[in-house]
C-alpha cells in the first residue's frame, strides 16, 4: 500500500537501496500467467568465490533477464544477464553472469552489509510459502557485499540471514554466486515437491538507475508476487537440526561527570555480562527464539532529529536484533507494536511462523524498565516507571483466498500497579488488481499508577476506549486515488506501540497522475499529486487541515526533485492559525561515488510553547562520497530558525559526520560525530530556559562480522555539553566491547 502523508503517527518504512516499491515496478500491459520451472537437485557443493566454474552450473536451471522494468517499461534489457539455479539436500545455489558493454562503468564499493548504496547489484526474490504476500530478498554487489531483507506489500522489514556469497569483476562484466542454507529460510512443511514464487533482478545504475527483471510486469496490478515466476522442486529438502545458539560477552565501563563544568570525572565500575540467544526452527515453517540477559546495547547511533518545538514524541527505528527478527509478523496498519518501548529486557521468548493459510507471531518479554508515552490530541508527554513489567504480544493472520488476509492482535503489558491491554481485528483486502482496502479496529484497557494519574492528569482506575483506521487505494500505472479515515478516543492507549496522538478523527482524500517516460523523454518519471487532509478532536475542535499539491520529477543523474506547496489551518491550545508553507527536495547521484541532497521548507508555524503564530525556515542538506573502494564519508547538516511577531525566537541546528574505512566486506573502522546547538531568546519564553545549550557526541568503532551474529565490536564514545557560561565539557565517556559467536547446528 502506498502511503500518503498522515502526519499523526502512521507507520512508515525507511527508504533503502532496494525496497518493495523498487522491486514491484512493471508495465501497463497485462502480464502473462506465471510460468512454472523445475529446479534440479544436484548433490554437488560448490566453492563460493563468484566464479561459475563448477560443473553443476551446466546442469542447473537457467534463464535470462530480458526486460528493463525501471525506468523502461518492459523494454529490452540494456545488458545481458544469465541466472542459474539448483539445490541439494540442504542448500539453494544461485549464480549470475552479468555482462556489461562497458565494464569500467561498473559501480562497486566495499561497505558494511546492507549498505552498499547505489552500486551495481544482482538479487533473487523468494516467496517460499507461495502465498504472494511476503518474500525474502537476497542481493549482492560486485565486491561481494550482501544485502538481505523481508518484503511485504507495505515495504520491507530489516532481517539478517546467514548465507555465503562471492562476486568477481571480469573483463566482460561480473559474476556472483549465492549459497543459501535452507536453515536460513522458512518454507512450507511438505515431504513432496514445493512451488515457490521466484524472480531475479539486476540493478544497473548509470546516468539513470536502471533495473532489469526476468518477466514483463504490470504496474496496474497491485500484486507483484502474483506475477512472479513459479519454481518447483525441493522435495524432501531439510533445514537440518535448524538450531542456532549465539552466546555473547559484553564488557563496558562508563565514567561520569555529575557536576558541570568543574566537577571531577568519576570512574565507573567495569561491567561484564554474559548473554545468549537461541533460535530453533523446530519445523521448516515455525521458529522459536529465546534470549537471556541479552545485549541490547546499540553500536549503531540513532540519526539525530530536531526536537525543539515538536509537540509529539519522535519515532526512532528499531535496531536490536532480537526484535528485528520476524518483526513483519507483527505489523498492522496502526502502529500498535513498537518494540523500542521495551527498554531493558531481562529475557524474552518469541514464536513466529506460518502453517498453511495461518500466520502466527507471539512474544513474551520481561522488561526491567517501563517507558510510557502519554498521548493527547495536540501533544504527547513521556514518563518512565521504576518498575519491571511483563509484555506479551499475540498476532494471528489467516489468508482467505489469494487476495484477502484477516488478522487479530492482542498486546498486554502489566506491572505492579500498571496495566495496558489492546485487542483488535484487521483486514487487508486486495479487492481487485488495482484496488486495496486495509482496515483495523482496536479497543484498549489501561490502569496507571497514582503518581502518573496525578502528574499527567490521567483518568484514575481502569479506563477503556477504542481506535480504528481504514484506507482505500486505487492504483494503476498512471492514475491513483485514495481515501483514509482514522480515529482514536481520548482514553485509548497503546503503550506497546507508537501512537502519540489520541482524541482525534482524521480524514484524507487524494489523487494523482504519473507520466511514465518514453524513449524520447528527458525524465524517467513525473507525478502530480493533490490531497486534502482534515483532523479534529472528538469534540469537533480543529487540530489540523492541509490542502496539498505535490510535483515529483525523476530524471538524469539519478535525480529526484519534489516541490510541495500547501495551505495549512492548525488548532492548538484552543486557538486556530492559518499558514502557507512550501517544501522543496532535490537529490542526485552525479556519479558512482557521490550522492547529494537538499531539503528546504518554510512558511507559517505554531510556537507550541507559547501558543502563537510564527514563521520558520528549515534547511536540511548533506550527502556522501566514496573515495576509491574503501573510504566513505557522509556529512549532514540541519538548521531551523523561527521568528514571531515580537522577534527572533529560536535557532536549532544538528550536524552529523560519519567516516569509515572498509577493509573488506566483513571488517571496518568508523568514526561518528553528532553536534546539537539550540539557541533561544529567553525574553520570549516563560519557562526560564537559558539562551543556549550544546551537545557533542563522538564514537569510534571497530567492527568485524564473520556473519550477522558472529561479531566483534570494540569502541569508545563520549558526550560533551556546553552553554553560554562554559565551553564544551565532557559529561561521560564509555569504552565497550562485545563478542558473539553463532553456532549453527
The C-alpha cell that represents 413 in the structure block: 503489558
Residue 302: pLDDT above 90? Answer: no
Give me the percent of the chain exceeding a pLDDT of 90. Answer: 84
**Mean pLDDT in residue range 365-386:** 95
Calpha distance 221→214 (Å, rounded): 17
Residue 457: pLDDT above 50? Answer: yes
Phi-psi region for residue 263, left (φ > 0), alpha (ψ -120 to 50) or beta? beta
The alpha carbon of 107 is separated from its chain's Cα centroid by a whole number of angstroms, namely 25
CB 171 within 8 A of CB 179: no
**Mean pLDDT in residue range 454-470:** 97
- State residue 22's pLDDT score: 40
Residue 548: pLDDT above 70? Answer: yes
Residue 297: pLDDT above 70? Answer: no
- State residue 722's pLDDT score: 95
User: Which tens digits make up the pLDDT trace of 225-238?
Assistant: 999 999 999 998 98
CB 437 within 8 A of CB 453: no
Calpha distance 286→612 (Å, rounded): 55
Most confident of 8-12, 156-160, 518-522, 524-528: 524-528
- State residue 318's pLDDT score: 84
Choice between 199 and 301, residue whose per-residue pLDDT is larger: 199
Give me the percent of the chain exceeding a pLDDT of 70. Answer: 95
Strands (E), 476-611: 479-488, 504-516, 525-536, 542-555, 559-572, 575-591, 594-607
Calpha distance 608→683 (Å, rounded): 16
User: Which tens digits make up the pLDDT trace of 60-97?
Assistant: 999 999 999 999 999 999 999 999 999 999 999 999 99
Helix (H, G, I), strand (E, B) or coil at 14: coil
pLDDT-derived band at 298, boundaries 50, 70, 90: low
Average pLDDT, the chain: 92
Q: Residue 111, class by beta-carbon neighbours within 10 Å (0-12 exposed, 13-18 middle, 19+ buried)?
A: buried
Give rounded-to-5 percent helix, strand, coil for the chain: 5, 60, 35
Q: Which domains does the chain have, with CATH numbers?
A: 20-233 (2.60.40.1190), 326-511 (no CATH)
Using only C-alpha atoms, the chain has a radius of gyration, in whole angstroms, of: 26
How many angstroms separate the Cα of 624 from the Cα of each of 332, 358, 590, 636? 34, 44, 11, 9
CB 376 within 8 A of CB 311: no
The C-alpha cell that represents 590 in the structure block: 552525479
- State residue 28's pLDDT score: 40
For the ranges 308-317, 439-448, 612-621, which has the lowest average pLDDT? 308-317
- Which residues, other chains included, contact 15 with Cβ-Cβ below 8 Å and sequence gap of 6+? none
Amino acid at each position: 500500500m502506498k502511503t500518503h502523508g498522515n502526519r499523526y503517527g502512521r507507520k512508515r518504512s525507511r527508504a533503502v537501496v532496494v525496497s518493495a516499491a523498487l522491486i514491484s515496478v512493471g508495465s501497463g500491459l497485462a502480464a502473462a500467467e506465471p510460468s512454472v520451472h523445475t529446479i534440479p537437485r544436484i548433490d554437488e557443493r560448490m566453492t563460493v568465490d563468484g566464479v561459475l566454474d563448477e560443473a553443476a552450473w551446466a546442469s542447473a536451471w537457467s534463464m535470462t533477464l530480458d526486460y528493463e522494468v525501471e525506468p523502461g517499461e518492459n523494454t529490452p534489457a540494456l545488458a545481458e544477464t544469465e541466472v542459474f539455479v539448483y539445490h541439494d539436500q540442504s542448500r539453494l545455489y544461485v549464480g549470475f553472469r552479468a555482462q556489461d558493454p562497458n565494464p569500467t562503468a561498473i559501480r562497486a564499493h566495499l561497505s558494511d552489509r546492507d549498505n552498499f548504496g547505489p552500486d551495481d547489484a544482482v538479487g533473487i526474490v523468494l516467496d517460499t510459502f507461495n502465498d504472494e504476500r511476503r518474500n525474502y530478498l537476497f542481493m549482492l554487489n560486485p565486491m561481494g557485499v550482501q544485502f538481505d531483507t523481508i518484503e511485504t506489500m507495505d515495504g520491507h522489514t530489516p532481517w539478517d540471514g546467514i548465507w555465503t556469497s562471492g562476486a568477481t569483476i571480469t573483463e566482460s562484466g561480473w559474476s556472483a554466486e549465492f549459497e543459501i542454507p535452507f536453515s536460513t529460510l522458512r518454507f512450507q512443511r511438505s515431504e513432496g515437491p514445493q512451488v515457490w514464487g521466484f524472480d531475479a533482478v539486476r540493478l544497473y545504475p548509470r546516468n539513470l538507475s536502471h533495473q532489469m527483471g526476468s518477466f514483463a510486469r504490470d504496474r496496474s496490478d497491485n500484486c507483484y508476487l502474483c506475477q512472479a515466476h513459479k519454481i518447483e522442486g525441493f522435495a524432501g529438502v531439510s533445514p537440518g537440526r535448524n538450531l542456532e545458539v549465539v552466546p555473547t560477552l559484553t564488557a563496558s565501563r562508563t565514567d561520569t561527570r555529575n557536576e558541570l563544568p568543574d566537577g571531577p570525572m568519576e570512574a565507573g565500575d567495569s561491567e561484564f555480562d554474559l548473554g545468549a540467544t537461541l533460535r530453533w526452527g523446530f519445523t521448516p515453517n515455525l521458529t522459536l527464539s529465546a534470549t537471556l540477559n541479552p545485549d541490547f546495547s546499540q553500536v549503531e547511533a540513532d540519526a539525530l532529529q530536531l526536537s525543539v518545538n515538536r509537540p509529539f514524541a519522535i519515532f526512532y527505528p528499531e535496531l536490536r536484533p532480537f526484535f528485528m527478527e520476524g518483526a513483519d509478523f507483527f505489523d498492522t496498519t496502526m502502529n500498535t507494536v513498537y518494540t523500542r518501548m521495551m527498554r531493558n529486557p531481562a529475557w524474552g521468548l518469541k514464536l513466529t511462523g506460518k502453517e498453511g493459510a495461518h500466520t502466527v507471531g507471539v512474544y513474551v518479554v520481561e522488561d526491567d524498565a517501563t517507558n510510557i508515552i502519554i498521548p493527547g490530541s495536540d501533544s504527547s508527554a513521556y514518563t518512565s516507571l521504576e518498575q519491571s513489567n511483563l509484555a506479551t504480544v499475540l498476532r494471528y493472520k489467516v489468508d482467505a483466498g489469494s487476495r484477502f488476509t484477516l488478522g487479530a492482535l492482542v498486546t498486554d503489558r502489566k506491572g505492579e500497579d500498571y496495566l495496558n491491554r489492546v485487542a483488535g481485528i484487521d483486514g487487508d483486502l486486495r479487492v481487485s488488481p488495482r484496488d486495496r482496502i486495509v482496515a483495523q479496529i482496536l479497543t484498549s484497557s489501561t490502569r496507571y499508577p497514582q503518581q502518573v494519574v496525578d502528574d499527567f492528569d490521567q483518568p484514575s482506575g481502569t479506563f477503556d476506549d477504542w481506535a480504528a483506521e481504514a484506507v482505500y487505494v486505487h492504483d494503476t500505472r498512471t492514475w491513483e486515488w485514495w481515501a483514509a479515515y482514522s480515529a482514536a478516543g481520548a482514553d485509548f492507549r497503546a503503550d506497546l506501540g507508537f501512537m502519540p496522538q489520541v482524541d482525534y478523527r482524521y480524514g484524507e482524500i487524494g489523487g494523482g497522475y504519473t507520466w511514465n517516460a518514453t524513449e524520447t523523454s528527458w525524465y524517467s518519471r513525473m507525478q502530480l499529486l493533490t490531497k486534502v487532509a482534515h483532523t479534529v478532536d472528538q469534540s469537533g475542535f480543529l487540530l489540523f487541515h492541509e490542502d496539498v499539491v505535490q510535483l515529483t520529477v525523476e530524471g538524469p543523474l539519478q535525480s529526484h526533485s519534489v516541490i510541495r506547496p500547501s495551505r495549512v489551518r492548525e488548532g492548538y491550545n484552543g486557538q486556530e492559525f492559518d499558514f502557507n508553507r512550501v517544501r522543496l527536495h532535490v537529490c542526485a547521484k552525479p556519479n558512482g561515488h557521490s550522492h547529494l541532497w537538499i531539503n528546504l521548507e518554510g512558511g507559517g508555524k505554531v510556537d507550541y510553547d507559547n501558543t502563537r503564530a510564527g514563521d520558520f525556515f528549515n534547511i536540511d542538506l548533506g550527502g556522501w562520497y566514496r573515495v576509491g573502494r574503501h573510504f566513505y564519508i557522509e556529512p549532514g547538516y540541519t538548521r531551523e530558525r523561527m521568528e514571531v511577531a515580537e522577534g527572533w525566537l529560536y535557532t536549532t541546528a544538528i550536524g552529523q559526520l560519519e567516516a569509515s574505512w572498509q577493509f573488506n566486506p566483513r571488517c571496518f573502522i568508523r568514526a561518528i560525530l553528532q553536534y546539537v546547538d539550540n539557541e533561544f531568546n529567553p525574553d520570549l519564553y516563560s519557562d526560564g530556559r537559558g539562551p543556549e545549550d550544546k551537545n557533542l557526541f563522538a564514537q569510534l568503532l571497530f567492527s568485524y562480522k564473520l556473519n550477522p551474529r558472529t561479531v566483534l565490536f570494540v569502541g569508545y564514545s563520549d558526550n560533551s555539553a556546553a552553554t553560554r557560561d562554559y565551553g564544551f565539557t565532557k559529561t561521560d565517556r564509555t569504552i565497550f566491547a562485545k563478542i558473539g559467536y553463532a553456532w549453527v547446528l
